[in-house]
Amino acid sequence: MEHIEIHISGGELSEAELEAYIVHGREKNSDYELLGMNILLNGEYADIEYRYSPIPNEQRVCIGGMIAKFGAFNHAKQAEYLDRTINSI
């Protein structure tokens, strides 16, 4: 769903429940991009671990000579920025 990595254990969820958890995760920490969720179902309860991008969507960054808000870049450019290494020179 929508480039979000989702792992569900302990049962199954309907699409409506899953969408509600995604909406909740986005509202819970709206400054960051929601990357993934681990959902552990235990009877009537669900334990959810949300994973977010390490950089706020509103933070301006320079990627490949382009300066914009981090959330404005597509997933490939965001991954490029997150995978960068520091020059040791």
- Which of residues 88 and 69 earns the better pLDDT score? 69
| Confidence bin at 1 (pLDDT 50/70/90) | very low
Q: What angle do CA 54, 57, 75 make, to 5 degrees?
A: 75
pLDDT digits (tens, 9 = 90+) for 2-54: 689 999 999 999 999 999 999 999 998 888 889 999 999 998 899 999 999 88
Burial string for 38-64 (b: 16+ CB within 10 Å, else e) reads ebebeeeeeeeebebbebbbeeebebe
Q: What is the pTM of this model?
A: 0.65
